[in-house]
Amino acid sequence: MADDPIAISVDTTGFRREIAEADRLTRGFGRALGAALEGGVVKGRSLTDVLRGLGSRLSQLALQSALKPVENTLGSLFSNLTQNLFAGVTPFAKGGVLASPTVLPNGGAGLALAGEAGPEAVLPLARGADGRLGVAASGGARAAPITVNIATPDVESFRRAEGQLTATLARAVARGQRGL
């Protein structure tokens, strides 16, 4: 029992990431130190200038390292924001159904709540020939044939009533086009 092996599983992803970052910073420090010494030895700069340049470069590396998490967080935040903003957009230009309560913009008058009492239909609107706004007919709708039967005792009585019949039919067709 005392000699039974124990299996331990550890996620080292975060540790490896931090080690890689430390390695990157160490290499940056080494490059900065090498460039500073090169400036002093090869280019004949004074020790004060070399140390000032080294201090400036190390400050720059420290600032970049300190701001890296902020940069990553902001980048991730804006990336997620734009993805989430447009991921849930459903177009209703051709109509649809709101199956659950949904908050919608209300044409500059604030917000509106739709679907709170059950499913609600969204119907596209269009202007009719008379300029009035109403529910648009679907693109596949065809005009229905209308048959009018007129019974008169003679042709003369039909001729007398023809104008009245024409006006009555015109009004009925206009009401039908408006959806009344």
Q: Is residue 34 part of a domain?
A: yes
**pLDDT for 98-149, tens place per residue?**
888 888 888 778 888 888 888 888 888 888 778 888 887 665 556 667 777 7
The pTM score is: 0.30
Q: How many domains does the chain have?
A: 2
Q: Is residue 33 part of a domain?
A: yes
Instruction: Quote the Cα angle for 92-112-125, to 5°.
Output: 40
Tokens of 135: 């529910």
Which of 41, 63, 78 is at the close of a domain?
A: 78
Domain span at 65: 13-78
Tokens of 17: 């990431």
